[in-house]
Homo-oligomer: A and B are copies of this chain.
Amino acid sequence: MNEVRIGIIGIGNMGSAHAANISKGEIPGLILTAVADRKESRRDWAKKELGEKVAVFLEGKELIESGLCDAVLVATPHYQHPELVISAFHHGLHALCEKPAGVYTKQVREMNEEADKQDKVFAMMFNQRTNPVYKMMKELVEGKTLGEIKRVNWIITDWYRTQAYYDSGDWRATWDGEGGGVLLNQCPHNLDLLQWICGLPKEVQAFCHNGKWHNIEVEDDVTAYFTLENGATGVFITTTGDAPGTNRFEITLEKGKLVCEEDELTLFELVENEREYCFTATEGFKKPEGVYREVELIGENSQHIGVLKAFTNRILTGSPLVADGREGIRGLMLSNAMHLSSWLNRPVTLPIEEDLFLTELNKRRNASVKKDNVKEATFDTKGSYGSKDGK
């Protein structure tokens, strides 16, 4: 086997961008053989833009059963992710899943259990993990030379979206169609990076505001306070309503502070561990000494193409993935915890009570209102992935 035939299920904003990248031959060894979409307008687009060699289906299951693909990329609305991935496994296909892994952890747990039963490659589209700045933060935190984490503040308010964005699809920003707002659509990357770099919090208290800045029924403004396993605290602040927003990720450690802003990483490294200095210093107001420096970043920021290449090479040669599919549940657990905490107006410990979450989600799904003012549109998402080099 020296090439992988891939089918993309869901060719909206993201799926069509992936289709274009693969069609252009940007991923050696990966060939687009089929797409599926329930919207006629998107199927028409595919027939016109992707050429005759790419089969076009209405349903993802048809694509999976067609025999035209060795692997699928699932880029549908979120609720369908686990179901389609599981179906792909059952038909002997490898699966790459767009974020989020699903809408609720219980559903994703079933997907992961199914993955464990197969020998198929299963990956998550956590393209932000290819960003050298986050890779370096993970390396510096895990290396422990800076000591334990003391505080984490991530202000990630630059996920700006207009009302036109929300009006572009009937599933968007509804409890029944999407299952959440900024936490589920824009933030899966950030929540994954947060748990990837700092570990999964043990407790969360979140304040979600539904339709604060847009005419939508789900949250578009979130402030979450959390506690890590070691007792360090943090905040995660996000919205699709701020312009200009901020993307400033700060981690204070015992022996220094990391600040990531505008894809640049600054390290203030102390000469000694603050925890020791605090109890040995004879002065009251003096601070431990240290040095600021910009951290040199290594490697390219390959983003979606990097994830697709790694997925392809894993299938062909067994080389490492950017993110194993089973890891998608971790950021989703954090996202679910934020929703649940806000719904119940109390702190929530992780792992969450999955049945309670589902009950609360279903209350909202049942009350969800079908949109009657949709102006169908597919937007150019370039530059909207929270990374300057995002493709």
Nearest-CB residue, chain B, relative to A244: B268
Is A278 at the interface (CB under 8 A from chain B)? Answer: yes
Q: Is A285 a contact partner of B381 (Cβ separation < 8 A)?
A: yes
**How far is it, in angstroms, between the C-alpha of A250 and the C-alpha of B377 when the chains are bound?**
34
Complex CA gap A207/B206 in Å reads: 12
Task: Let me know if B151 and A214 touch, CB within 8 A.
Answer: no
Which residues on B sit within 8 Å (CB–CB) of A155? 153, 250
Q: Does A281 contact B (CB under 8 A)?
A: yes
For A245, the chain B residues whose CB sits under 8 A away are 252
Interface residue ranges of A264-296 to B (CB < 8 Å): 268, 270, 274, 277-279, 281-288, 290
Q: Mark A210-252, 1 if CB is under 8 A from B, else 0.
A: 0011100000010101000001010101010111111010101
* A384, CB-defined interface residue at 8 Å: yes
Count of chain A residues with Cβ under 8 Å from any Cβ of B? 59
**Segment at the B interface, from A163-171, A193-201, A315-323:** A163-171
How many Å from the CB of A87 to the closest CB on chain B? 30
Task: Give the copy number.
Answer: 2
Are A250 and B246 also in contact (CB < 8 A) when A155-B153, A164-B283, A213-B278 are? Answer: yes
Q: Could you tell me the distance in whole angstroms from the C-beta of A273 to the nearest C-beta in chain B?
A: 10
Query: Given A151-B157, A213-B278, A284-B164, is A242 in contact with B252 using a C-beta cutoff of 8 Å?
Result: yes
- The answer, yes or no, to whether A379 is at the interface (CB within 8 Å) is yes
Tell me which residues across on chain B come within 8 A of A161, comparing CB atoms.
Answer: 284-285
B237 in contact with A162 (CB, 8 Å): no
- Residues from chain B with a CB closer than 8 A to the CB of A257 are 242, 244, 246
| B379 close to A284 (CB less than 8 A) | yes
**Complex interface: chain B residues within 8 A of A246 (CB):** 153, 250, 252, 257, 259
Contact of A283 among B162, B235, B252, B283 (CB under 8 A): B162
Are B379 and A278 touching (Cβ within 8 A)? no
Is A150 interfacial (CB-CB < 8 Å)? Answer: yes
Do residues B207 and A233 form an inter-chain contact, with CB atoms below 8 A?
Answer: yes
Residues on A lying within 8 angstroms of B by beta carbon are: 150-151, 153, 155, 157, 160-165, 168, 205, 207, 209, 212-214, 221, 223, 225, 231, 233, 235, 237, 239, 241-246, 248, 250, 252, 256-257, 259, 268, 270, 274, 277-279, 281-288, 290, 377, 379-381, 383-384
